[in-house]
A and B are shown apart, each in its own frame.
Chain A
């Protein structure tokens, strides 16, 4: 996690927003008669691609940073698409539920990336 509040809030905001949008997109695309595995795979790929293609993602990049925004929102898109896509095949979801699940996926993704980043960053031991 960036120790500057501006970027920490920006990371959360970007991933919550993209997660919610991809959750809703998945809700619009996937039907409850779909095969669960197919839905998970398709929506994770589509979610990742859409997260990159959303003009909103570029707006967040211009305000909060390049790789630090693009990579997490792609992870969020992948997870949000996969989770909501899977969920719909086993249980009917309302629009609001899909949006909230997507939003939660965004929070989860950025938290995981903050943890992974804290372990990876810093001076590396050279081979």
Chain B
């Protein structure tokens, strides 16, 4: 069943999304995103494209399939998609209802995505299905914290931010494991909140 609530939430956020995210956060995270995406190789699925801010950190000459649940976000991303020195095929698609074949992709990349997927473990299982048996998952995510007072703050923020988009208290590393992946690397970038996660299928 289509997740209209999530799609509508991100459709509403699309026109002003870059106001909050395009400058500070992207500039701050650029070195780590460039490092993570530098390993893009083979048949790649990128989830979720948003307004395409991550494209600036993609290495050139890759053939990338990107999805996003929000058609309005994809509209906003179009100029960045067109400007990419490589190929990006974009589909409006919910991670819970991927229409790709089983074992289609060598690698899956996410960027600040699983803070917003309503059923993160099911979403990750869906990604596993479309990944090859030895496929790799590369994630740049913000998560909840295990340390006081940061964990308290993430809990306080979540009811507010949930209405606008992301949740701040997700246990994404645990969710990756729960979905059946083998986590191979967790790299903390800011406290234990902003991190990269690498896992294999």
CA distance A126 to B188 in the complex (A): 12
User: Does B100 reach chain A (CB closer than 8 Å)?
Assistant: no
Q: Which of B148-186 touch A at CB < 8 Å?
A: 149-150, 153-154, 156-157, 160, 183-186
- Measured between beta carbons, the chain B residues less than 8 angstroms from A71 are 150, 153-154, 190-191, 193
User: Does B189 reach chain A (CB closer than 8 Å)?
Assistant: yes
A47 to chain B, nearest CB (A): 12
B50 to chain A, nearest CB (A): 14
Contact with B along A15-39 (1 / 0, CB 8 A): 0000000000000000000000000
The answer to whether A123 touches B187 (Cβ under 8 A) is yes
Interface bin, chain A: 20 to 34
The answer to whether A124 touches B153 (Cβ under 8 A) is no
Please count the residue pairs between chain A and chain B whose beta carbons lie under 8 angstroms apart in the complex. Answer: 84
User: Does A55 reach chain B (CB closer than 8 Å)?
Assistant: no
Interface bin, chain B: 20 to 34
The answer to whether B190 touches A75 (Cβ under 8 A) is no
The answer to whether B188 touches A124 (Cβ under 8 A) is yes
CA distance A73 to B142 in the complex (A): 17
User: Does B192 reach chain A (CB closer than 8 Å)?
Assistant: yes
The answer to whether A70 touches B157 (Cβ under 8 A) is yes
Q: Which of B142, B183, B186, B188 contacts A66 (CB 8 A)?
A: B142
- Measured between beta carbons, the chain A residues less than 8 angstroms from B194 are 67-68
User: Does B20 reach chain A (CB closer than 8 Å)?
Assistant: yes
Residue of A nearest to B177 (CB): A127
B: which residues have CB within 8 A of A?
Answer: 19-21, 23-25, 27-29, 142, 147, 149-150, 153-154, 156-157, 160, 183-194
A: which residues have CB within 8 A of B?
Answer: 2, 6-7, 10, 48-49, 52, 58, 60-71, 74-75, 78, 113, 116-117, 120-124, 126
